[in-house]
Amino acid sequence: MELLTALRTHRIVAIVRGADADAALRTVIALAEEGLPLIEVSLSGQDALGVIRRARAALGPDAPLGAGTVLTAQDAQAVRDAGADFVVTPAVCEGVTEAKRLGLPVLAGVMTPSDVVAAQRLGADAYKLFPAAQAGGPGYLKALRGPFPGLPFVPVGGVDAEAARDYLARGATAVGVGSPLIGDAADGGSTDALRERTRAFLDAVRLPSDAVRTSPDAGR
């Protein structure tokens, strides 16, 4: 898949990490049905590989489906075999190297300028600024883009709808959102509430031109 194109188009990655594998699968499907196609299933969740396999079967071969918390070469191999077509790491690690060797695009976890340079050397496709809130929030993203103005950054960690707007306004390519979006849905909570939150986040990250195209008065 063209990860960078997808990030620029959709501007949000949902991070699913659940204590209930069946609920996590329902969460993935509900997100996709609500029009949020970039979804990462974290390996730190219950039976994550099984969730990825079942989600791939449910969503079909062409839907984007990522695997997160990929740390080792074995992790990268396992998620590829389960059906993931992009990889997300929390750091610059062996998972980046092996995923690239396998032909999978990588959103690599970085926090410092040194991390960014190291991830560049390994061929990262985009850069997950993590943990973004603890690093300094949108102000830190703005500072980091000074020496790296052309790189695609995706802040993750403590990103609610308001912060998502702020990060995107400061030049983020997309944002990664976990608990503020997922809530308790992946642990067995309400998918109806999840769907409402999904619509709110999609509104938050929508480009102004998208709003014009979807307006009832557009084209009159």
Q: Flag whether the pTM goes above 0.85.
A: yes
From 128, 142, 162, 196, the catalytic residue:
128
pLDDT band of 207, cuts 50, 70, 90 = confident
pLDDT in tens, 10-69: 999 999 999 999 999 999 999 999 999 999 999 999 999 999 999 999 999 999 999 999
CA distance 130 to 153: 10
Please state at what angle helix 113-122 crosses helix 94-101, rounded to 10 degrees.
Answer: 30
Q: Which CATH superfamily is domain 3-206 in?
A: Aldolase class I (3.20.20.70)
- Tell me the three state secondary structure of residue 194: helix
Helix (H) or strand (E) holding 173: none
Q: Is 128 a catalytic residue?
A: yes
Q: Is 40 a catalytic residue?
A: yes
From 40, 100, 142, 196, the catalytic residue:
40
pLDDT in tens, 156-171: 999 999 999 999 999 9
Tell me the β-bridge partners of 156: 176
